[in-house]
Chain A
Amino acid sequence: MKSRIPTILIGLVVPVSAIVVLFPFWNRVEPFVLGFSFNYFWMFLWLFLSSGCLFIAYKLDPLNDEEDW
């Protein structure tokens, strides 16, 4: 059976780290990006990136290849 570790890394560890671990770095006003202060830009960016991470995780996930229920 293939390992599920890459799935867990990209699907769980990356998004949680981006929000929680990096919090002290993104909790700031400058620079403004797309009209938002940096903290809100970062949060809204991860709305899309989390989806992307889960998409990659889904593609890598060995459970999806081997079960169909």
Chain B
Amino acid sequence: MALFVFATIILASLGLVFLARKGAINDSMDDIMKASGSFGPFLLFFVSVGEIYTIGTLLGAPGAVYSKGANYGVWFFCYILLAYVVGYFLNPAVWRMGQLAKAITVADIIGWRYNSKALQVVVALIGIIFFIPLIQFQITGMGIVFFYLNLGFDFTYAAIFGAVLAFSFIALAGIRSSAYVAVLKDVLLILAVGLIGGAAAMNMPGGVEGIFRTVAQKMPQLLTVTMEPLTAGTTFTISTILFQMLGFYVSPTNLQASMSSSSAKNLRRNSIIMPMYMIMFPFLFIAAYYALVAITGLEKPDYALLAVAVKLLPNWVVGLVAGGAALTAILFMAVAALSISGLFSKNILALIKPDMKEAGLVWGARAMMALSLTAGVLLALFSPNLVANLLALGYFGFTQPVVAILFGFFWKGATKWGVLAGLVVGVAAIFLIDTVPYALNKGAVALIINLVVTVVVSLLTKQDNEVVQRFEAYRTAKLKIQSGKKEASTTA
């Protein structure tokens, strides 16, 4: 029965991709990467939430609570919540600069703003290198689901099957597929997590309060963030929240989603409802704390959510959970591969071969999609631990361009050499720093170093006239819009 439900879900997702093909233009980079900037409020909502909750959220958040309690659970929830708040202000600004730059990727925007091809390549490389491990991570996560729920597939087949499905999504309908499949995936996910959390509450005497009271009595250290000494949890929690809330929307996939919007206003309106979508978190936390008191001795903490499902729910719901989890992983892989392929084709291939036609770039992008998914599968199958380290560093790495982006809006004096030096030193710091002072988040420390280097080098190097003009163009485009004229919109 579980397998039947699972298979139905996967088939339905393919059906949705065929629906998504309507209006898709398969030989246009602009259409594949950002649906020609055509998404209104409804699809924009789904494409943006579709890429936020990965299999890491679903298994990792309860797993972290199961093993480390509030010291991990609290920052995980709070940074996402505040990222939406930051996104209200950041996303429309990035979108607007994207219009001026005629951009498809984040590297286009930064490269245009600072008038530098080298910078464009560095930003693209950072995105590619720090994102491939995320694809591998989705496959490993899917493996955990299949293994624990015992659906009867071999991991190798599951990995290959997932990657092939992800490739078909983006090859058939580009980013449009993500928006359409996300509708199904998110309904399933909320339903599944709601059922698991609800079942956990109903199976504990005293319901939700019973669960949290038991934790408070038996293991109070797991219920709140450790405050004494401050370095035992508080400094990490706060620095991580601040760092990741800034970096969240700079991730190549989230940025790709913002660019598909048809207007800046849509992005703002979208931000209002984004926090509500976190409604599944209370259920995830209820399930995780239930597992903590009722299911002891799990072999891996990441099994926590699935263990609650298997223990409390009928078989068909387990199939629902498996389908939702697999789709989450596949969808995220698809958009990650899409974003990587855009960075490769538009920002690296097009520079190596400047005379290449659009069709060539599209094929280059397709090849990179296949390549990055294959790399993910191979890494997951043959050396799951090799990039585990790189994955931990992933967030620290792809967040670094946020300095370039923020200065892009606010500081006329930032030079390409300053931004380039800041980025390179920031990324290097992630690999070189061994112990972080005051137990702060390593990425936050790297970001501060990046910021200082950017400012110092910018002050020491000569500003390029074109860069000042582009800064002014961005500021005045905003003024023009504010005074009701619409000239700037013709660049779309």
* A residues lining the B interface (CB < 8 Å): 1, 8, 11-12, 15-16, 19-20, 23-24, 27-29, 32, 34-37, 39-40, 43-44, 46-48, 50-51, 53-55, 57-58, 61-64, 66-69
Residues of B within 8 A of A58 (CB): 88, 268-269, 271-272
Residues of A within 8 A of B481 (CB): 63, 66-67, 69
Encoded as 1 (CB less than 8 Å from any A CB) or 0, chain B from 67 to 109 comes to 0001000100110011011101100100000000000000000
Quick one: given A16-B82, A63-B92, are A55 and B223 in contact (CB under 8 Å)? no
What 8 pairs between A and B have smallest CB-CB spacing? A35-B208, A35-B209, A67-B481, A69-B489, A50-B275, A51-B275, A54-B272, A66-B482
What's the least CB distance linking A36 to chain B, in Å?
6
Chain A residue at minimal CB-CB distance from B216: A29
B433 at the interface (CB under 8 A from A): no
Query: 16 new A-B pairs (CB below 8 Å) besides A29-B216, A47-B275, A67-B481?
Result: A16-B85, A19-B241, A20-B78, A23-B237, A29-B224, A35-B211, A36-B208, A37-B216, A50-B81, A50-B85, A51-B275, A55-B272, A63-B268, A66-B483, A67-B264, A69-B481
Q: Would you list 9 pairs from A and B whose C-beta atoms are within 8 A, ordered by A residue? A: A19-B82, A23-B234, A24-B227, A36-B212, A39-B70, A47-B276, A63-B92, A64-B268, A69-B263
B437 at the interface (CB under 8 A from A): no
B interface, size bucket:
35 or more
Considering only residues 268-326 of chain B, those with a C-beta below 8 Å from chain A are 268-269, 271-276, 278-279, 281-282, 285
Instruction: Give the most central of A29, A37, A66, A69: most B CB within 10 Å.
Output: A69
Secondary structure at the B interface, as helix, strand, loop or mixed, is helix
Residues of A within 8 A of B92 (CB): 63
CA distance A37 to B208 in the complex (A): 10
Residues of A within 8 A of B484 (CB): 66-67
Beta-carbon contact of B88 and A54 below 8 Å: yes
Quick one: given A24-B227, A53-B85, A54-B271, are A40 and B285 in contact (CB under 8 Å)? yes
What's the least CB distance linking B71 to chain A, in Å?
11
Residues of B within 8 A of A36 (CB): 208-209, 212, 282
B475 at the interface (CB under 8 A from A): no
CA distance A50 to B133 in the complex (A): 32
Residues of B within 8 A of A8 (CB): 89
Residues of A within 8 A of B225 (CB): 27, 39
Residues of A within 8 A of B215 (CB): 37
Beta-carbon contact of B224 and A37 below 8 Å: yes
Encoded as 1 (CB less than 8 Å from any A CB) or 0, chain B from 214 to 225 comes to 011000100111
Residues of B within 8 A of A40 (CB): 212, 282, 285
B213 at the interface (CB under 8 A from A): yes
Chain A residue at minimal CB-CB distance from B70: A39
Beta-carbon contact of A47 and B208 below 8 Å: no
Residues of B within 8 A of A47 (CB): 81, 275-276, 278-279, 281-282
Instruction: Give the most central of A11, A27, A39: most B CB within 10 Å.
Output: A27
What's the least CB distance linking B261 to chain A, in Å?
11
Selected contact of A46 from candidates B81, B220, B234, CB within 8 Å: B81
B412 at the interface (CB under 8 A from A): no
Quick one: given A1-B482, A15-B82, A27-B225, are A39 and B282 in contact (CB under 8 Å)? no
What's the least CB distance linking B73 to chain A, in Å?
8
What's the least CB distance linking B344 to chain A, in Å?
30
Selected contact of A67 from candidates B78, B212, B482, CB within 8 Å: B482
B265 at the interface (CB under 8 A from A): yes
CA distance A1 to B484 in the complex (A): 11
Residues of A within 8 A of B208 (CB): 34-36
B238 at the interface (CB under 8 A from A): yes
